[in-house]
Amino acid sequence: MKSGLKGFSLIEIMIVMMLIGIIVAGIAVATFGQLKKGQVKAAQAEANALAQKLIMYKAERRKEPSSWESLISNGDIEKEPVDPWGNEYTFVCPGVHHPKGCDVRSYGLDGLADTEDDVGNWEQ
């Protein structure tokens, strides 16, 4: 004798929950990938802007800045710049990639020098 109650079985509910979990995981992976690309683009843009400030400092003072503190004391920047991952940018004047200018580098997500995730003002 059937009780006449209609509903979902535990198996059906578990299947639906599993499908929802798979969809959410896929969205999370796609979102993280876009976030990473955005951080790289932001780091490149900031490295380019900082390189321009270093060049302006060099043109005004007729000498290369020794540290970010040179630009802070000159009023060009407010504080030592950090990349989207919280690491300080580094610079070299004259640059290897820009012998007449400066190279500005972010060590990227891993924060280590000379790894494949480094971002610099010489990249497009």
**Can you give the CATH number for the domain in which 97 is found?**
3.30.700.10
What is the tally of structural domains in the chain? 1
Percent helix, strand and coil across the chain, each to the nearest 5: 50, 10, 45
7 falls within a domain: no
Q: Which domain holds residue 86?
A: 12-120
Tokens standing for residue 92: 């070299």
pTM: 0.74
3 falls within a domain: no
Question: pLDDT tens digits, the chain, 124 residues: what are they?
Answer: 556 667 788 899 999 999 999 999 989 888 888 888 899 999 999 999 999 999 999 999 999 899 999 999 989 999 999 999 999 999 998 888 888 889 999 999 999 988 999 999 987 6
Rounded CA gap, 88 and 100, in Å?
Answer: 23
5 falls within a domain: no
When computed from its CA atoms, the radius of gyration of the chain, rounded to whole angstroms, is 25
41 falls within a domain: yes
84 falls within a domain: yes
DSSP E strand boundaries for the chain: 90-92, 103-106, 119-120
Q: Name which of 95, 85, 100 is nearest 120 in CA terms.
A: 95
